[in-house]
Homo-oligomer: A and B are copies of this chain.
Amino acid sequence: MAHAVFKYRKGEAYPWVYKYPQTALTADCIVFSFSPGGKESPLKVLLIKRGADPYKDYWAFPGGFVNPNETAEQGAVRELQEETGLQAPYLEQIDVFSTPNRDPRQRVVTVPFIVLTRDVNVVAADDAADAKWFSVDDLPSLAFDHKEIFEKAITALRKSLVFNPLWRFLLPEEFTMSQLQTLYEAIYCKKYDRRNFARKMLSTGFLNDGGLNRTNLPSRHPTVYTFKIGNHNL
């Protein structure tokens, strides 16, 4: 590690000097979105291709070093914007990874955040050589310990979804019951009974019934719903 007698060379930036051993702090964004179609899972996760070593050309989660005056969350939001152009509508801190040698450069502590978005337009920028959505069931091999971070993230997402109607951040403004069901099935890797599923969702009070709308389908025009804040305080 970087504990060393300091030798300043002309032209170098001044280093950061501390009395106690330190770690770098990074924030990573595990960004989920929903886009059905095709055989693969409609649950997507955003990866960037690293433009620099270590792990150059590997896929990784967007993220980076947290500035000294930022919270981890602020750093996550900023890095996501810088690397992909995404504004994060929902963030949730999930854990912390502090294994000593998880980064070959020096000790790095990472705080990962789940991010949910329905905006799938991303632009690779900054350190990122590329940015792309991958189906969660078809991920490439990932840099650092990001595979492990991904497992924690999806587990945390499943837990949160039990108590919070987080699907509202992933679905379009207007959606059908079967879209909602497809999303749940993708997240929990499980099939649900159509009728029981609809009954349970309607009973939460979070669905606004907008009447029949969707056309051009080889079937009925399904009811279109929107998210509504439930009467949970009455």
Give residues in A with beta carbon < 8 Å to B: 1-6, 8, 13-25, 65-72, 93, 95-96, 98-100, 106-107, 109, 111
Q: Is the CB of A96 within 8 A of B93?
A: yes
Other than the given A25-B107, A93-B96, 14 more pairs (CB < 8 A) read A2-B16, A2-B18, A5-B14, A6-B8, A13-B19, A18-B24, A20-B65, A21-B24, A21-B67, A22-B24, A23-B109, A25-B98, A66-B98, A95-B95
Can you offer 5 A-B residue contacts whose CB atoms are under 8 A?
Answer: A15-B19, A17-B17, A22-B24, A71-B99, A98-B111
Q: Is the CB of A17 within 8 A of B15?
A: yes
Q: Which one of B6, B65, B70 lies within 8 Å of A15 (CB-CB)?
A: B6
Q: Is the CB of A100 within 8 A of B20?
A: no
The verdict on A14 contacting B25 (CB below 8 Å), with A69-B100, A71-B99, A100-B71 known, is no
Q: Could you tell me the distance in whole angstroms from the C-beta of A180 to the nearest C-beta in chain B?
A: 26
Q: Which residue of chain B has the shortest Cβ distance to A5 in the bound complex? A: B14
Q: Is the CB of A18 within 8 A of B106?
A: yes
Give bound CA distance, A93 to B13, whole Å.
37
Give bound CA distance, A17 to B17, whole Å.
5
Q: Is the CB of A109 within 8 A of B106?
A: no
The verdict on A96 contacting B111 (CB below 8 Å), with A14-B3, A17-B6, A22-B24 known, is yes
Q: Is the CB of A16 within 8 A of B19?
A: yes
Q: Is the CB of A24 within 8 A of B20?
A: yes
Which has the most chain B C-beta neighbours within 10 Å: A21, A22, A24, A96? A22
Q: Which residue of chain B has the shortest Cβ distance to A69 in the bound complex? A: B100
Q: Which residue of chain B has the shortest Cβ distance to A108 in the bound complex? A: B20
Q: Is the CB of A96 within 8 A of B99?
A: no
Q: Could you tell me the distance in whole angstroms from the C-beta of A231 to the nearest C-beta in chain B?
A: 25
Q: Which residue of chain B has the shortest Cβ distance to A67 in the bound complex? A: B21
Q: Could you tell me the distance in whole angstroms from the C-beta of A75 to the nearest C-beta in chain B?
A: 9
Give bound CA distance, A13 to B5, whole Å.
10
Q: Is the CB of A20 within 8 A of B14?
A: no
B residues less than 8 Å from A99 (CB atoms): 71
Q: Which residue of chain B has the shortest Cβ distance to A73 in the bound complex? A: B98
Q: Is the CB of B19 within 8 A of A22?
A: no
